[in-house]
Structure 1
Amino acid sequence: MGDGPADAGRQAAGGGPAAGAGTERARLPRLPVRQLAAASVGNAAEWYDWYAYSFLAIYFADRVFPKGAGDSLVPLLSAFAVFAVGFFMRPVGGLLMGAVADRRGRRAALTLTILLMGGGSLLVGVTPTYAASGLLAPVVLVVARLVQGLSVGGEFAASTTFLVESAGERRRGLFSSFQYVSTTVGQLVASGIAALLAGNLTEGQMASWGWRVPFLLGAVIALVGFWIRRGAVETRSAPEPGTPRPGLFEALRRHPRASLLICGITAGGTIAYYTWTTYLPTYATVNAGVGKGTALTAGTISLAFFAVLQPLGGVLSDRVGRKPPLIAFAVGFAVLAVPLLHLLDGGFWSLLLVQCAGMVLLTGYTAVAAAVNAEVFPARVRAAGIGFPYSLTVALFGGTAPYVGTWFADAGHAGWFPWYVAVLCLVSALVYARLPETAHGTLER
């Protein structure tokens, strides 16, 4: 296809990169650990901050948002609505930070995104309460989430491109898997800290000040990630002298089919991902009566299991191709999402079983998503080309998952949410079935 995967096999036009960039790039195969650390540590810090919000929303919602008359779910709905608002900044971040990565280099974009995320986390940590400041409290929280959304949208575009371009031709799937290894480590740390605080503090202490601790810690972690990323080796080849920089909307204008393909690849993956890794503890608490601490503990264990699975899925995709695991994921969720969520009975073991079963299926998408996305676009517009359609799709379906699920429960139709997940996965299954195989081609760098 002229604007998609076939372009990935085309070598860059002209005589090649400038000498300095070529020297740096020649070092890449000998520095895999350094490159993985630069992407992974910063990415983990980014996603730690992002997911701490979701895990702790159930504690701070009442402090930041006023209650509706007779409806205890109003503050939680408001908190998840702000979670979704942050997601709608992600397409902007994917476009702007992707453009920075394509024009100024992957490393420049990665250092900028980590600083934005740290600043947003600090702002959440110092958000005043509604009782103390009135409407200023939700306004501060919204601003913080907008900054974080901008950062996360750019993070995926830049780190995906950086990771896959750092890999050898037969290891792109393996390197790709570290996108979700590091994301899951960030979630795991956020979930673990939340569970530790919930287990050692009273409900009153958690609601009063305990929920702030993870966000303030996140600002410190972001600074560490910034320091590590400054030492990364650039993977973007320097353009020929006189070559015009890519336009902001060049990827969309010149590669519309590839952009739509990214949307189809992502739709089912993002709803399944955010349901199983982020929203499920809250879903189990609201709909199955699972205790808050119990739900966070089960979520932490299942996330550790998920992180271990990712490299295995990446290596498998390097051998058998990207399509088989993608199809297995989508068909599996289309068939099993409803019965799995109906297995929740209020107990710890049922929640853990449902989460781990979903994690196995989900690995078919998460372990290869970064590689598939990077293989769709040519190097010149790869970061921006991935960033905007991916982040837009995540905003529409992933970011709204907690809100939609809570809204269904509030409306008395909690059983509709599993069907919503299944239908979106079925749509992506149809896309995967027609997806060209890109695992064994040469990636333009």
Structure 2
Amino acid sequence: MSRTSHLQSIFGGSIGNLIEWYDWYAYSVFALYFADSFFPDNNQTAQLLNTAGIFAIGFLMRPIGGWLMGAYADRKGRKAGLTLSVLLMSLGSLMIAFTPGYATIGILAPVLLVVARMVQGLSIGGEYGAAATYLSEIAPRNRRGLYSSFQYVSTTMGQLVALLVLLVLQKWVLSDAQLMEWGWRIPFVIGAILALSALYLRKNLAETDQFKEQSHAEKDRGTLAALRKHRKESLLVVGFTLGLTIAYYTFTTYIQKFLVNTAGFSKEDSTVITLVTLVVFMVSQPFFGWLGDRLGRKPMMVLFGVVGTVCFFPLMKQLETATTNQEAILYITIALLILTVSTSISAIVKAELFPAHVRSLGVSFPYAMTVALFGGTAEYIALWFKNVGHSDGFYYYMTFCMVITLVSSLFIPGDRKRMHL
């Protein structure tokens, strides 16, 4: 594959990923505004608990999506899996955009919201594995860390676009009352349109050589029976994803609500702070991916486990008492740079553990199970501890999970033993 073809493949694979994650994150970013529409209650924390609960339900669909669409991508091709996932995401966004509020259709409103998030959960569950596999398989041998880092570049850019839409609506287009009443629907309409536009890009992607050469050699390709032959690798994916996913959703998703609900920042300031820190997180991914190609995957993952275990607790405590935007930006940026050590190479670490005929499923399913059980519930657990007056409980919980990730990272095969790619 030529240099131009490589760049086109990176762009095509990443831009669709960006749009999917924009749709996924729009729910969390705008939750402060639409919570009242679906869950009328005078207690803001209780409203956020309800929306966080549905956020978690969407995550519970991710293992099913990882299983079904990971198997589909292993059988029909990476391009086919990526195309199907973006169609499902568009459908979920349209449902959220046009579902009437509780005042109009009563209990049916939150029920339809749950269904929409379930559809999006199926989509995003398959998206991760297909995109990670695609980027890993098109990459040259000595640049796999760099190429795979673009998955989190596009993922974070999707969240940034969602935040930018919120910022524009907050600052220049709508009043706070208009956003609460109907303006929160706008980003979901935008997301549905963008998702449909991504179909063209994904239909023109080049299929990977590894899929074309190896996928048809195995009769059980893309099946759970094939995945069961790789139990150790699947457990490793669960172990080193555990601390990563809790830290990721804490410092990229929950943190916006934490700044408002715990640290006392305004909604507008929390949006700006989150936006600035995510930009740093995004642009640092390729550098750490490149570093992973130089230093090796295992040393990077162990480093993340050690530093995250030691630092995440005190960083959350400092954020509780932060009084200025600059102070909050500093602490969150430090946390995200620690996280980048892992996120930049996480896709390639997983992809290198599995052979081609089960790679997409192997990356998708155990990862999605872990994210569903721990990443998707991180915000809910944090809010629960906050609601009962013991915020520190969540920080201890995150630290314990980081210890498990550290131990798991010690069992990742050394780079010289990686033969599947």
TM-score normalised by the chain length of structure 2: 0.95
| CA shift in 2, pair 1:408/1:242, >3 Å | closer
User: Does the Cα contact within 8 Å between 1:124 and 1:141 map onto a contact in 2?
Assistant: yes
| CA shift in 2, pair 1:382/1:29, >3 Å | farther
| CA shift in 2, pair 1:242/1:168, >3 Å | closer
| CA shift in 2, pair 1:36/1:404, >3 Å | same
Q: 1:49 — aligned with what? A: 23
User: Does the Cα contact within 8 Å between 2:309 and 2:399 map onto a contact in 1?
Assistant: yes
Deviation at 1:73, TM superposition (A): 2.1
- Give distance in 2, aligned partners of 1:240 and 1:311: 29
User: Does the Cα contact within 8 Å between 2:353 and 2:420 map onto a contact in 1?
Assistant: no
Counting only pairs closer than 5 Å after superposition, residues 32-431 of structure 1 correspond to structure 2 as 32-67=6-41, 71-200=43-172, 201-235=174-208, 236-239=211-214, 244-246=219-221, 248-344=223-319, 345-431=322-408
Give 3-state SS (helix, strand or coil) of 1:220's partner: helix
- Give distance in 2, aligned partners of 1:199 and 1:247: 48
Poorly superposed stretches of 4+, deviation over 6 Å: none
User: Does the Cα contact within 8 Å between 2:214 and 2:356 map onto a contact in 1?
Assistant: no
- Give distance in 1, aligned partners of 2:43 and 2:214: 58
- Give distance in 2, aligned partners of 1:442 and 1:29: 24
Deviation at 1:440, TM superposition (A): 8.0
| CA shift in 2, pair 1:247/1:433, >3 Å | closer
Q: Match for 1:364: what amino acid? A: V
Deviation at 1:442, TM superposition (A): 4.6
Which is worse superposed, 283-292 or 145-154?
283-292
User: Does the Cα contact within 8 Å between 1:318 and 1:440 map onto a contact in 2?
Assistant: no
CA RMSD of superposed structures (Å): 1.6
| CA shift in 2, pair 1:241/1:422, >3 Å | closer
Give 3-state SS (helix, strand or coil) of 1:244's partner: coil
Deviation at 1:31, TM superposition (A): 1.2
Deviation at 1:347, TM superposition (A): 2.6
Q: Match for 1:274: what amino acid? A: Y
Q: Could you list the runs of 5+ residues in structure 2 that have no partner in the other structure?
A: none
Deviation at 1:244, TM superposition (A): 2.1
- Give distance in 1, aligned partners of 2:286 and 2:387: 39
Which is worse superposed, 158-167 or 71-80?
71-80
What is the aligned-residue identity percentage? Answer: 45
User: Does the Cα contact within 8 Å between 1:169 and 1:443 map onto a contact in 2?
Assistant: no
- Give distance in 2, aligned partners of 1:418 and 1:272: 10
Give 3-state SS (helix, strand or coil) of 2:199's partner: helix
User: Does the Cα contact within 8 Å between 1:284 and 1:346 map onto a contact in 2?
Assistant: no
- Give distance in 1, aligned partners of 2:226 and 2:331: 39
| CA shift in 2, pair 1:224/1:213, >3 Å | same
User: Does the Cα contact within 8 Å between 1:88 and 1:395 map onto a contact in 2?
Assistant: yes
Q: What is the CA deviation profile of residues 311-336 of structure 1, one whole-angstrom value per residue up to 9, with x for unaligned ones?
A: 00000000110122212222112111
Which is worse superposed, 111-120 or 328-337?
328-337
- Give distance in 2, aligned partners of 1:254 and 1:239: 17
